Amino acid sequence: MPEPQDEIRAIEERYARRKQIPEASLYNPLDPYVCCARQERERALIRCLKRAGQVPVQDKRVLEVGYGGGMNLLDLIRLGFQPQNLVGNDLLEERLARARMVLPPALALIPGDASSLALEEESFDIVL
């Protein structure tokens, strides 16, 4: 089994390689492929939430590990989750500033390695 530091380094290396691809080509909402993929992911999420008995969602607490630019968290808010019940974690601190520009202040963003976060056990209904 790889050491945690090896895995963190591997994640950082993957993201460094990804920086070579223009972000606009990865996530452009006007690109039909990106639009369809997001819609498909949203339908799958709704099905999962219903199957898991997690609806209604207004009081559900969610942790997203690897929130990136915050788009999934914004989608959750649009689906009815409350910002104060959402927590995002990302290994890369530079993502915090970018996500903070689009996410409401009530939503907590925590930088660092998710495996070493000091979070209370069973404090989330859903972890993405």
Residues whose CB falls within 8 Å of the CB of residue 115, separated by 6 or more in sequence, listed in order: 4
**Lowest mean pLDDT segment, chosen from 36-40, 74-78, 93-97:** 93-97
Domains and CATH numbers, the chain: 4-127 (3.40.50.150)
pTM for this one?
Answer: 0.84
pLDDT digits (tens, 9 = 90+) for 31-63: 999 899 999 999 999 999 999 999 999 999 999
Residues whose CB falls within 8 Å of the CB of residue 77, separated by 6 or more in sequence, listed in order: 83, 86, 104, 107
Dihedral over alpha carbons 48, 51, 57, 59 (to 10 degrees) = -120
pLDDT digits (tens, 9 = 90+) for 112-125: 999 899 999 899 99
